[in-house]
Amino acid sequence: MPRGRHMRSEADDQQGGGWGSLLIWCGVPIIVMLLIRMFLFGFYVIPSGSMRDTIEVGDRVITTLLAPKHIALQRGDIVVFTDPANWLQSEDNTYGSNRLIKRLIGMPGDTVACAGPGQPVTINGVAIDESSYIRPGVDPSSFAFNVTVTADHVFVMGDNRSNSADSRYHQDDGSNGLVPIDDVEGVALFTYWPISRMGVLDAHHEVFENVPNGNAQ
């Protein structure tokens, strides 16, 4: 055997290959999960009771980040959005987040209104039956309002209308209580924690089937 030649044992080769394989098998799934987390899904802890009984305080929900950029928003979608105009000053922000979660009621061009306690919400003059998601015993709105949604904005309301500082309460914030679509981070799909509350979050699109399209401003 010539002097100076480095000899590697079979065990050395197997060890090196083993570490390489381990890094691949561990690293690739982690990278894939990070990419999914960054571009497909968002994970949020719910800080307030404004969406009860659909979503409770402390529930953890998963959203699709494909909406609204790649999947169009629809009336009824439960949307997560960044605080548009210091709304959180009126919310019980238990977890210190700068995001809110509400149900999308009005699209650009829609006129959303209510005549007051005991009366239904109307969209473009058509009354909608929200009993499938509004918290039992709560009025669709405890006061009258009438708002026309401007272009590139949406009108949102919590399912727990008696405890939701939503679009109705911020009509003097410069945007008439509307949320810029660019501030919407995603649409909630389901609750994954606690396990006892795990399940799909229903958008109840059927509630809005008879609503005609508004005229975008």
Active site residues: 50, 102
Q: Tokens 């015993």 identify what position?
A: 137
Angle at 194 between CA 66 and CA 81, to 5 degrees: 35
Query: What phi and psi, each to the nearest 5 degrees, are found at residue 15?
Result: -65, -45
Length of the chain: 217
